Structure 1
């Protein structure tokens, strides 16, 4: 009986390997095993190194498959460091004079805006959201109150047309408006407004962050407020401003004299670190309250 190739089936029986062949196969197997172990170790080191680089750069990521895949959300607003280091034994206490990043000590002037105590919001368009745009919190899973969502929708509807009007030269570049949802029912926002609202503080078009003057212009075109600006200041003056505990400058018929949460300082002119991130920091009033109570 023959197989399809014409060889008798009995000729296909496994023949005993020669002594020399056995030895060569054993060496090859050992080499393959060593190469596989080296490759696994290298991948593990790469995973650890990549995670450390992202952490050092202040970039948030999601680790999947035991670190084999690191997912970076480029639309999410980057976290902002506090100006000062924090006490290792008490993370609620800052250490004035000890910069959390030495680059802060080398920049003389900063553009300063009020930090709003609310819910981080994103309004934008990209090919990932073909329906015309999106309204999201800090993450896609964030639960946005219905009246806040409706308020944001009213600012940008119809979303596709509004973005074309405001950014006529952006073509297909992704656009993201970053702001804060604030007002009664969000954090302790009743002191800002009895209603939920959106206030703009940053805009990103493609890979570029707009200057704050341009962000203010976008807010005017949208018909929404821009975060209160304190102008250009030195670090020492900013620290005094926060220590003085001023009432919020958000003009939304405040229900009481709400003390501002703090400030956000962006380098002026706009500078970037070695990772391509903007040089900026924050400072909160409660940091100094905690320091005094220590």
Structure 2
């Protein structure tokens, strides 16, 4: 194993199988309940150690300046924590990203990229930080980052920081990108967002294979009103199953029992939408690759 580089590191997307807003804290943060499911489609990151202590993103990402990139910001926080723990600076790192997940799609792409960067850099720098420590480093940058470090299907509560592992469905998903980017603040500040869904317990959940049709996404009605293409995609995909939006939008998904059924639906998707299929994942693929020294 080359200890100076980690290439082809996966940063998988997630789907919110349901997303309930059950309250609001005094500081304005919304209290959520959701099941997060990893899928086998995502961005790919490449890391190479430097010798000058710098953290450098080596390629452009349209619409994301390097200074505001969650990857760079997360690595700087990890570098600070490394300095405090080990009393010396990190060697630095180059990061290249092949991005395929859409921004504003509700798939957690930016958070997943940051989580992959934290796990990979911790390995290359020999930082010695455990998952809980990496989660704490990432949380101030994005509520979804801890989930990707947690790395398996989870029932998520609070503002996204409280997670319990659960058994998720083994299925394929068809995902439609409606062609709009939904800014999360626009959804959470909408006056017509309902914030009083009755809390649920894991004991209330149906069998794993039925989870994709459980509950609802409380953000969906607002996003559909503000961004009509989201509503159109939900209506169209609803012909084939329980179609819903993921996260705060804009992507829309539907669970299918197998790849053949997913291919059949994909063949019918109107040409003005980008659509793809993905399989559910039980575990974050990077975690097993690092554990088994397979990169």
Please give the TM-score of this superposition, normalised by the length of structure 2: 0.36
Rg (Cα) greater in structure: 1
Greater length-normalized contact order (CA 8 Å, ≥ 6 residues apart): 2
Q: TM-score with structure 1 length normalisation?
A: 0.36
